[in-house]
Amino acid sequence: MNHTATVQLTGKTINADGTIQVSFDDLTGFAYGDESGLVIDCELRDSQFADYLKSLLICMLVEQGINTVGKTLHLDLTEPNGNIVKVI
């Protein structure tokens, strides 16, 4: 199992027609009709953060065993230093 991932946001392009292309270092990206589409996507993903953290804790349990019980993952998108996921 591979439980590491690094993703870099490499660009946000606003096209002449107002559409937006967001790109990542793995050559993937997302297209949006306009800025409001980008905001809506963020709001939808925001509701999924807790489930993603639960999935990560399950992977930690598989890899690290019972020592994971009692661990907390904290996600803070406002963290100024870029260290947004913390294990407590």
Residue 14 has pLDDT above 90, yes or no: yes
Give, rounded to a whole angstrom, the gap between the first and last alpha carbons of the chain.
Answer: 23
Q: 26-43, pLDDT tens digit by residue?
A: 999 999 999 999 999 988
Alpha-carbon 34 to chain mean position: 21
pLDDT digits (tens, 9 = 90+) for 41-58: 988 888 888 898 888 888
Predicted TM-score (pTM) of this structure: 0.70
Confirm if 5 and 55 have CB atoms less than 8 A apart: no
Is residue 31 within 8 Å of residue 20, measured between CB atoms? yes
